[in-house]
Amino acid sequence: MKVLTTLALACAFLAPVTITASAHAAGPWDGTWNLNRAKSHLTGDSFTYTKLPNGMWHFAYGNIGYDFAPDGKSYPSIDPEHPVTTTANGDHALTIVNSFKGKPISTIQETLSADGQTLTDVSNGVHPDGSSYTSTIVSKRSGPGTDFFAKWVSTKEESNTKATFTLSTAADGSMTWNFPISKETATAKMDGTPAPITGPQVPAGVIITYKKVSARRLTFSVMFKDKPVGEGYDELSADGKTLEETSWVPGKMSEKTTSVYDKQ
């Protein structure tokens, strides 16, 4: 289920990026960056399933949460345009279909291990640019709970999506992101001014802010409908060849993930 949240929010600090060229001389941040999965640490964050008194299930990932039932019916997730349909396949498996405006965009096969200690999510879908993808997230139970109902912490992440972005700075110091895979865009000043993220599948109300705190560090935060959903910082190496991005769900800095990008 965490896959749905990450995809639908389309947070700029997690998505592959491409940018149009600027008219002035390139700065130290400018260039094309490729994710180095071997150097990155993309696991350790958590989500929860809770059984409600009325029999419904509640999914929570930071400040994102919604109610649903594994009955094959459609329920709104982050907003009505992004419904989720969950079907139980016995006691240890779920099929989760994420849709946008009535069109399926991904299917997750979620399997609970026989000993109840591991959840494996295998997601298949199509990005807005038409390219298909497969990703796998394995999570381990953390703390008490039975069946699916527990806190789950990710321990393994794999994806065949190539995470590449190109970053450029405009003459006024602002940065503009164009996301080729998700067809999203954002233009942000580096002084904390809120900027919307727009795209064909981005829900209304996703805002990002950036602040330049030094020549080699940018801090950022992402809001969704006035709720903080992500924050972190980008660090440029002294030689300008590596960009390290550290992010976490607000209030859960101990669960931070790190993405390391090499300049192409």
pLDDT tens for 182-211 read 888 888 999 999 999 889 988 889 999 999
Predicted pLDDT at 175: 84
Predicted pLDDT at 140: 98
Query: Residue 18's closest CA among 181, 171, 246?
Result: 181
Mean pLDDT of 158-164: 87
Mean pLDDT of 170-186: 83
- Could you give the angle at the alpha carbon of 256 between the alpha carbons of 202 and 13, nearest 5°? 30
Residue in the block written with tokens 């965009």 = 105
Q: Residue 152 pLDDT more than 90?
A: yes
Confidence of residue 111 (pLDDT cuts 50, 70, 90): very high
What does the DSSP 8-state code read for residue 28?
T
Mean pLDDT of 93-105: 94
Of the listed ranges 119-123, 140-144, 159-163, the one predicted with least confidence: 159-163
Distance, CA of 12 to CA of 197 (rounded, Å): 8
Q: Residue 25 pLDDT more than 80?
A: no
Predicted pLDDT at 176: 80
Distance, CA of 212 to CA of 230 (rounded, Å): 17
Q: Which percentage of the chain shows pLDDT scores above 90?
A: 69
Higher pLDDT, 8 or 45: 45
Distance, CA of 161 to CA of 179 (rounded, Å): 13
Higher pLDDT, 6 or 12: 6
**Average pLDDT over all residues of the chain:** 87
126: left (phi over 0), alpha (psi -120 to 50) or beta: beta
Q: Residue 13 pLDDT more than 70?
A: no
Distance, CA of 164 to CA of 158 (rounded, Å): 15
**233-258, pLDDT tens digit by residue?**
999 999 999 999 999 999 999 999 99
Q: Residue 149 pLDDT more than 50?
A: yes
Predicted pLDDT at 70: 97
Cα four-point dihedral sign 176, 29, 183, 13? negative
- Could you give the angle at the alpha carbon of 192 between the alpha carbons of 80 and 254, nearest 5°? 70
- Count, residues in the chain: 264
Residues in Cβ contact with 160 at an 8 Å cutoff, skipping those fewer than 6 apart? 133, 134, 135
Distance, CA of 164 to CA of 174 (rounded, Å): 20
pTM here is: 0.88
